[in-house]
Chain A
Amino acid sequence: MQLVAIGVAIAVGVTLVAVRFQWLPTSASVEFDRIQDVYWLATVISIGIFSLVAAVIVYSVWKWRVPLDDDRDGPPIHGHTGLEILWTAVPATLVIIIGVVSAIVLARNGEAGTRPLQVEAIGQQFAWRFAYPDYGGATSGELVLPVGREAEFTMKAVDVIHSFWVPQFGQKMDAVPGIETTILVTPTRTGEFAVVCAELCGLGHATMRARARVVTEPEFEKWIAEKRG
């Protein structure tokens, strides 16, 4: 019937918006691949719920709109226990599903492999510095990572809170003065990316960027050897 037609039309429209535009950056890490799965799960559920609500509103207004001077009342429907139980239980189930999937992805994104590359990311107004403790503490203003090898970042902040973020890695973690925080990134493709500070850190926050380069393992070894020089 008409309600279903309106609902389907809205769902198709919203779905086109969701898939025609590339909403997420092309993933460059194993972790972001998993996050994108959760993202699409949430998107499917969201499209369903939005289409349902929007369709009922559009249909109701279209079907039951009356002129402003109409002074009759609608039918005195006070509620419906079955429906109310239904729309308590169904959303609860859906969010629990999202919650469980999210918790699994979170746990897997937090499992360090056997031999992760240790990287320290040090935030200071308004620049990033990266140190490689496995390689004699070599430091660099540029982040270089070997492709396919898990990197375990330890964040440190010198002055105020900063936040380490590479949009294509999908991982983000604040660097907090006084404590050390960690996050894992396993790059899946070579290329150049931007390290962005995501936490307001003062006057130069917008310009607090660094270059991240993902290279092959031999290239990395060569680069790090030069750094240790």
Chain B
Amino acid sequence: MTTTHPDQRETMEYPAHYEPPRGQAWRLFFGPGLVRGLWMGLLFFCLGMLLVVALRTWWGWDPAWLWPVIWPIAGMVTAPVGFLAGIGAFDYWLYYISGRPTRPEDHSGHGAYSWRDYFRVNTDHKVIGIQYLVTTFFFFTVGGLMAMLFRAELAQPGLQFVDSQAFNGLVSAHATLMIFLFIIPAFAGIANFVVPLMLGAPDMAFPRLNALSYWLLPIAGFMFLASFLAPGGSFAAGWTGYAPLAEGQPLGQTFFNMGVQWAGASSVMTALNFLVTIITMRAPGMTFWRMPLLVWANFTTSLLVVIATPFIAGSQFFVMFDRILHTDFFIPDGGGYVLGYQHIFWFYSHPAVYIMMLPGFGIVSEVISAFARKPIFGYRLMALSLVGILVLGFSVWAHHMFVAGMADWLRVPMMITTLLIAVPTGIKVFSWTATLWRGRIHLTTPMLFALGFVTMFVIGGLSGIYLGSVPIDIAASDTYFIVAHIHYVLFGGSVFTIFAGIYFWFPKMTGRMYDERLGRWHFWLTFVSFNVTFFPMHYVGLRGMPRRVFDYDAAFGDLNLIISIASFALGASFIVFLYNMVTSWARGPVAESNPWHAHSLEWQVSSPPPVFNFDEIPQVVAGPYEYGVPGARHAVMSPAKEAQEVPA
């Protein structure tokens, strides 16, 4: 007896184009889409509200109508679930479990034929990748504007533009958006587009789960932004949300507690999807040792996400329970343990630093190898160093707590593991520079960003050595030195690699070339203003300016003014990028399938790739970086069809 794949069986039983036999208006309101998402979101909000009020009335609690409880339940649990059901994220599964005929996979959810297709549940990894990237750059812009707002406040000592709660709220929301709605998901977006192509796979392993993980993201972002409308303002306890400060905060803090859950769930689902895709969907001949380093990077990142993310979910749930259920997890008077919060929080949030860095390592490996026209130096050690960072990354969390009052004996072991992370990281930096050596270096925009990344990341890594050393950390912790360090790692590091990746794969994603001259302007403006913004922060920090303050010693006034002006220039440099992206996407020159003459599989198909990526299955025969090896190929397949536009 032969078994049939479920999808094939359904295709045989049901007509290929199954549409409910109803009219246009009916479909608009009751068919999956944003309209149904909106009214179902509202409906589920009301249901959640009724549930809370009914239970409280039944229990005899006064008042029955308690908004601090209604908001987290109705606004942040049931309403988003209703929205997701409305846009159709659950349709297939609900049909399946209710025994109704599931809509056969006719691939109507695949590909994007008009701009509208980007605003619905789409199961095509390429569409989802672009949905991720556009969404995350929206939040990058918002987070950047917040930064400029509080830099305006910080240009002079004293309080000028915003009040103290608003300042703390802006600082907290800036960090939260940049971490949870920009860097982590932007990497997920790039990987979504590129990884299946690199593997020679037609899509991700679980396309519907992939669509769902994307749609959780705007929900989280909306929650973080909506917190500004909450009475008492946005969450203002820092992105670290330390208890017990967070427990006494106004309602806005609950938006943070719950927003993190949605963003975290999105990360975990995507990571699981990547893991299964990478393990099971590699093309014939694509062994682990033939995978491009970007795939290796996303493999290790996904392991970090899956293992670590539940910890931040736990920490935020505990805080929220303390806030609305009156538990005592972190309240000493009730037997709670304050430092417990920090241990759980950093057990995620330190690995999160690598979640925000390893995919960038992958991107830079692709870019440097392609534009130095040389194989990546020490490929296996490059892959193993990612694994080394993955393992070590779980043993260093308490270096964020050297001055937190934790057990003294924990400090030296955590210092040693922290410092040892410099070893695999150093291997990567030295291997990139060795890849450049005697190469034929093409200084394109992605290459500029990659080289800018390596130098800036070395500075960020070295300031990390200072902070890893307990005695220096005791002096520098909680000061602007930390702000400088994280921005060298996350901006000079992660954001530069995101820019490198966007420029590098722009022709593949859009089928058009970006403007090289504008790209260079963007790089140099960003590079210079970034350094003028963040380098002086090392100085003011060591000299005595603590972080997260709206007011500071007048002695730091001049430097802070320079920093603020440079930060506006940094913001302005982003306009060059946006302009380049928008105009090039609309009417840039049509891109070849392989403008960089790179070897990995995504360049062997048209730009943009066909709906199912590969018209024939590639047979991988060698590694992806065989530049300069005569006659070397990564894979055997029929020649790529030249850039055929997807019908509009």
| B544 / chain A contacts, CB cutoff of 8 Å | 25, 167-168, 194, 196
Cβ-based interface call for A46 (8 A): yes
Whether the Cβ atoms of A42 and B466 lie closer than 8 Å is yes
Considering only CB atoms and an 8 Å cut-off, how many residues of chain B contact the other chain? 90
Write out the residue numbers on chain A whose beta carbons fall within 8 Å of the beta carbon of B412: 99, 103, 106
Residue among B474, B538, B553 with max Cβ neighbours from chain A (10 Å): B474
Residue B597 is within 8 A (CB to CB) of chain A in the complex: yes
Which chain B residue lies CB-closest to A37? B471
* CB pair B377 A96 closer than 8 Å: no
| Complex contacts, B462 vs chain A, CB 8 Å | 42, 46, 49-50
Cβ A64 vs Cβ B441 within 8 A: yes
A: residues with CB less than 8 A from B are 21, 23-25, 32, 34-35, 38-39, 42, 45-46, 49-50, 53-54, 56-57, 60-61, 64-66, 68, 70-80, 83-84, 87-88, 91-92, 95-96, 98-99, 102-103, 105-106, 109-110, 155, 159-161, 163, 165, 167-168, 170-179, 181, 194, 196-207
Q: Main secondary structure on chain A at its contact with chain B?
A: mixed
Residues of B within 8 A of A199 (CB): 242, 478
Most A Cβ at <10 Å: residue of B412, B422, B546: B546
Closest Cβ neighbor of A45 among chain B residues:
B465
Q: Which residues of A contact B379 (CB under 8 A)?
A: 78-79
A/B interface sample: 19 pairs, CB < 8 A: A24-B475, A35-B472, A42-B472, A49-B426, A50-B459, A53-B429, A56-B433, A56-B437, A57-B454, A72-B440, A75-B374, A95-B465, A167-B543, A172-B475, A172-B477, A172-B478, A174-B403, A200-B168, A200-B238
A79 and B430 CA atoms in complex are apart in Å by 11
Least CB separation from B165: chain A residue: A203
B542, A24: Cβ atoms under 8 Å? yes
Q: Are A205 and B549 in contact (CB under 8 A)?
A: yes
Quick one: given A38-B472, A177-B332, are A103 and B415 in contact (CB under 8 Å)? yes
Chain A-chain B contacts (Cβ-Cβ < 8 Å), number: 264
Q: Tell me which residues across on chain A come within 8 A of B629, comparing CB atoms.
A: 76
Distance, CA A39 to CA B466, complexed state (A): 7
Residue of A nearest to B375 (CB): A78
Q: Is the CB of B427 within 8 A of A88?
A: yes
When A77-B438, A161-B242 are in contact, do A102 and B469 touch as well, CB less than 8 Å? yes
Q: Please tell me which one of the listed residues B164, B437, B470, B477 contacts residue A198 in the complex, with CB atoms under 8 A apart.
A: B477
- A74 near B478: Cβ-Cβ < 8 Å: no
Whether A176 pairs with B419 at a CB distance below 8 angstroms is no
A143 to B581, CA, bound (A): 57
Q: Is B103 part of the contact surface with A, judged by Cβ < 8 Å?
A: no
In order of increasing CB-CB distance, the 7 nearest A-B pairs are A178-B332, A167-B544, A181-B405, A206-B549, A73-B628, A76-B628, A95-B419
Question: Residues of A contacting B338 with CB < 8 Å?
Answer: 161, 176-179
Q: Which residues of B contact A (CB under 8 A)?
A: 164-165, 168, 237-238, 242, 244-245, 248, 332-333, 336-339, 372-375, 377-381, 403-405, 408, 411-412, 415-416, 419-420, 422-423, 426-427, 429-431, 433-434, 436-444, 451, 454-455, 458-459, 462, 465-466, 468-472, 474-475, 477-479, 516, 538-539, 542-544, 546-553, 597, 626-629, 632
Known pairs A72-B373, A92-B420, A174-B403; A64 contacts B472 (CB<8 A): no
Known: A42-B462, A95-B422. 15 other contacts (CB 8 A): A57-B433, A61-B443, A76-B628, A77-B437, A77-B438, A79-B380, A84-B431, A106-B412, A106-B471, A173-B405, A176-B338, A178-B333, A198-B478, A198-B546, A206-B552
**Complex: A77 Cα to B628 Cα, angstroms:** 9
Whether A155 contacts B405 by the Cβ 8 Å rule is yes
A98 pairs with B419, CB closer than 8 A: yes
Chain A residues, CB < 8 A from B375: 76-78
A76, B626: Cβ atoms under 8 Å? yes
Given A25-B544, A102-B472, A204-B164, residue A57 in contact with residue B455 (CB < 8 A): yes
Q: Of the candidates A25, A46, A77, A175, which one forms a contact with B543 in the assembled complex, judged by CB atoms under 8 Å apart?
A: A25
- Let me know if A76 and B332 touch, CB within 8 A: no
Q: B549 — nearest CB in chain A belongs to which residue?
A: A206
Residue picked from A34, A50, A159, A200, most chain B C-beta under 10 Å:
A200
Q: Which residues of B sit under 8 angstroms from A176, Cβ to Cβ?
A: 338-339, 404-405
